[in-house]
Amino acid sequence: MLLIKCPYCEEERPEIEFSYAGEAHIVRPTDPSKMDDTAWAEYLFIRDNTRGVHYERWYHIHGCARFFNAVRDTISDKFIMTYKMGLPRPADVEIAKVKE
């Protein structure tokens, strides 16, 4: 069973309680009407599909019902860290520290 630490519940909980919610830190354009279709489509659909350290959103839907962010290695499927919504993307040095 894969355990995920919810930063709000502050507990490791079974994966079945969570729902994946795509790549994190994608900022919604402030004025979509000024964008052309290509740029808008890129914002909507184009993602990095990173191999390795990936920043992503998760939703503790069957728990505290909160979205939060996680750093996960897509090769090993290991969660490196999770953090509350609204916090900045952790720097590489922070991630390296946790990995050790």
Partner 1 sequence: MLSEKTGIHLSIDQGVRLAPILTNETEIGGVRLIDEQVRYSLRFKPEDIAAVRKASQLDLPANIGMSSIKGGQLVLRLGPDEWLLISDLSRALALKQTFATLSSKFTCSVVDISHRNLGFIVHGENAENILNTGCPLDLSLHVFPVGKCTRTVYENTEIILLRKAEHEFHVEVWRSFAPYLSRFFETSVTDKAQIRMGARDDK
Which residues contact partner 1 (rule: CB under 8 A)? 1, 8-11, 13-14, 16-17, 62-66
6 forms part of the interface with Zn ion (CB under 5 A): yes
The nearer residue to partner 1, 61 or 75, going by C-beta atoms, is: 61
Report 8-37 residues binding Zn ion (CB under 5 A).
8-9
Q: What is the DSSP string of 33-70?
A: GGS-HHHHHHHHH-----SSEEEEEEE-TTTT--EEEE
Task: State the pairing for strand pair 3-6/53-59.
Answer: unpaired
Between 14 and 32, CB nearer to partner 1: 14
Contacting residues toward Zn ion, per CB under 5 A: 6, 8-9, 60, 63-64
